[in-house]
């Protein structure tokens, strides 16, 4: 009887496993074989998808807020996302970031690049990243070279929304009159870095690369364009981590991942990446960084004291530097780990065939400093998206779709 009972139980278990696989197979397999793959669909179907996504991701900058925008934005932040799934108040919060009175201005200490720490009326801290380059300026040299691109923060924020990552801080363009809005409320330390050059108001602030007037940024007269990035809630402290795929900045020296195609096997043995979502977050971020051309992700942050914290996708201004150069090694976490979230894979398929650029173009057209990026950068996004899909297909051919696509939140 005991043997018969064991056989019966084992048969039931096998039956349940088979049924489970059959249930999952259509869900994963349909997206693999093309149910959501628009490459073979006609223009009308693509246009319908584009119209639906534009309607979903456009924001209403005229939205009337019934309470503090800063309180609203702080409630959106969880361990998994900085932003809710398209809250109607988003346009109102971005509007206030772009127009609220500045009550204090100080040097931005953190990082290597010049920025200002501003306090808006109501007590909200924001970072202000100034404009260094014209929209069509090509940043040459190493992929991590050049100054910050303020418009890259704006484009990255909305790209993160469209990809459904929602782990990038809120960002919006703003033009500021330095003489009227900044200098009267500046700290003495910031004020002493102001100077005039060719009748333009300039400053150099304080940062690793901010040594003096030669490193300063100048307004057009008194008006300086830049990007306002919303500070995260102060009760949530950040913890910095060395990125496992950080690159070496010394010429001739290679990082371990550049010399070992099996490097991900070593990363998976690290306790931090065994029990948390972080490895899949790293793959998501690699996909995101490859799209925007950011090769400078040597650190990443999580919320301190929270084992379930997401990887926050911060500091995205080293992006959109050269639309004609694709830095393939940014995708190394994807290539070497051959793992990707099912939700990410779904979204990538949905956005192919030019849909990504069409949607992002319309969403960015609403920003106060539009156009945010030029056509070559939008075209680069579509081209790079194809590369990402090819990489995932290569992994699937090697290991099977069920082995590489993770059904994980």
Grade residue 2 by pLDDT with cuts at 50, 70 and 90. Answer: very low
pLDDT of residue 407: 80
Check residue 41 and give its pLDDT: 60
Per-residue model confidence (pLDDT) at position 24: 43
Q: Mind listing the pLDDT tens digit for each residue in 373-392?
A: 999 999 999 999 999 999 99
Kindly report, residue by residue over 103-119, the tens digit of the pLDDT: 999 998 777 889 999 99
Distance CA 339, CA 332 (A): 11
Q: Name the burial class of residue 18, with classes exposed (0-12), middle (13-18) and buried (19+) by CB atoms within 10 angstroms of its CB.
A: exposed
Residue with tokens 């333009």: 200
pLDDT in tens, 38-96: 555 678 889 999 999 999 999 999 999 999 999 999 999 999 999 999 999 999 999 99
Residue 50 has what pLDDT? 97
Indicate whether 1 pLDDT > 80: no
Binning pLDDT at 50, 70 and 90, where does residue 20 land? very low
Question: Higher pLDDT residue, 33 or 359?
Answer: 359
Q: At what angle do helices 2-33 and 342-351 cross, to 10 degrees?
A: 20
- In the predicted structure, residue 131 carries a pLDDT above the cut 70: yes
Which pLDDT score is estimated for 162?
98
So which residues are the catalytic ones? 296
User: What pairing do the DSSP bridges indicate for beta strands 102-107 and 238-242?
Assistant: unpaired
Sign of the torsion angle spanned by Cα atoms 79, 85, 87, 91: positive
For the entire predicted model, the pTM comes to: 0.90
Domains recognised in the chain with CATH numbers: 57-230 (no CATH), 237-247+254-406 (1.10.1070)
Q: Residue 40's pLDDT is what?
A: 53
Residue 408, pLDDT score:
67
Average pLDDT of the residues in 125-152: 93
Task: Name the average pLDDT for the chain.
Answer: 90
Burial environment of residue 390 by CB neighbours within 10 A (0 to 12, 13 to 18, 19 or more): exposed
In the prediction, which pLDDT does 180 show?
98
Would you state the pLDDT for residue 37? Answer: 56
Say what the pLDDT of residue 30 is: 43
Q: What is the pLDDT of residue 112?
A: 80
Q: What is the pLDDT of residues 178-231, one digit of tens each?
A: 999 999 999 999 999 999 999 999 999 988 778 889 889 999 999 999 999 999
Residue 19 pLDDT greater than 50, yes or no: no
For residue 23, pLDDT beyond 50: no
Instruction: Please tell me the least confidently modeled range out of 206-220, 314-328, 348-362.
Output: 206-220
Helix/strand/coil (H, E, C) string of the chain?
A: CHHHHHHHHHHHHHHHHHHHHHHHHHHHHHHHHCCCCHHHCCHHHHHHHHHHHHHHHCCCCCCCCCCCHHHHHHHHCCCCCCCCCCCCCHHHHHHHHHHCCEEEEEECCCCCCCCEEEEECCCEEEEEEECCCCCCCCCCCCCCCCCCCHHHHHHHHHHHHHCCCCCCCCEEEEEEEHHHHHHHHECHHHHCCEEEECCEEEECCCCCCCCCHHHCEECECCEEEEEEEECCCCCCCEEEEECCCCCCCCCCCCCHHHHCCCHHHHHCCCHHHCCCCHHHHHHHHHHHHHHHCCCCCCEEEEECCCCCCCCECCCCCCCCCCCCCCCHHHHHHHHHHCCEEHHHHHHHHHHCCCHHHHHHHHHHCCCCCCCCCCHHHHHHHHHHHHHHHHHHHHHHHHHCHHHHEECCC
The alpha carbon of residue 270 and the mean position of all alpha carbons in its chain are separated, in whole angstroms, by 25
The string of pLDDT tens digits covering residues 255-268 is 999 999 999 999 99
Structure confidence at residue 122 as a pLDDT band (50, 70, 90) = very high
- pLDDT above 60 (res 3): no
């Amino acid at each position: 009887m005991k043997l018969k009972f064991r056989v019966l139980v084992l048969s039931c278990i096998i039956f349940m496993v088979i049924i489970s696989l059959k249930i999952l197979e259509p869900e994963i397999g349909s997206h693999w074989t093309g149910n959501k793959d628009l490459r073979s669909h006609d223009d009308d179907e693509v246009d319908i998808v584009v119209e639906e996504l534009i309607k979903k991701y456009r924001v209403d900058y005229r939205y009337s807020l019934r309470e503090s925008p800063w309180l609203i934005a702080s409630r959106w932040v969880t361990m998994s996302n900085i932003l809710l799934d398209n809250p109607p108040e988003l346009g109102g919060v971005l509007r206030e970031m772009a127009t609220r009175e500045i009550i204090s201005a100080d040097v931005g200490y953190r990082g290597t690049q010049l920025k200002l720490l501003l306090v808006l009326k109501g007590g909200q801290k924001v970072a202000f990243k100034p404009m260094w380059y014209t929209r069509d300026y090509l940043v040459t040299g190493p992929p991590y070279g050049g100054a910050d691109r303020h418009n890259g923060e704006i484009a990255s924020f909305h790209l993160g929304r469209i990809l459904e990552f929602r782990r990038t801080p809120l960002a919006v363009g703003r033009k500021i009159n330095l003489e009227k809005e900044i200098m009267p409320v500046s700290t003495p330390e910031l004020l002493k870095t102001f100077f005039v050059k060719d009748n333009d108001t300039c400053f150099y602030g304080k940062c690793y690369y901010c040594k003096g007037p030669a490193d300063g940024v100048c307004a057009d007269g008194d008006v300086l364009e830049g990007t306002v990035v919303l500070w995260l809630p102060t009760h949530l402290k950040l913890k910095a981590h060395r990125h496992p795929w950080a690159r070496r900045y010394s010429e001739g020296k290679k990082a371990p991942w550049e010399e070992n195609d099996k490097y991900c096997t070593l990363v998976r043995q690290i306790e931090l990446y065994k029990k948390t979502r972080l490895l899949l977050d790293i793959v998501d971020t690699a996909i995101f960084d490859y799209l925007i051309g950011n090769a400078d992700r040597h650190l990443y942050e999580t919320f301190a004291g929270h084992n379930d914290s997401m990887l926050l996708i911060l500091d995205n201004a080293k992006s959109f530097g050269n639309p004609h150069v694709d830095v393939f090694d940014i995708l190394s976490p994807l290539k070497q780990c051959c793992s990707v979230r099912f939700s990410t894979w779904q979204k990538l398929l949905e956005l192919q065939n030019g849909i990504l650029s069409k949607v992002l173009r319309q969403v960015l057209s609403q920003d106060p400093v539009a156009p945010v990026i030029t056509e070559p950068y939008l075209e680069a996004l579509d081209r790079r998206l194809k590369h990402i899909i090819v990489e995932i297909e290569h992994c699937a051919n090697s290991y099977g779709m069920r082995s590489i696509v993770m059904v994980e939140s």
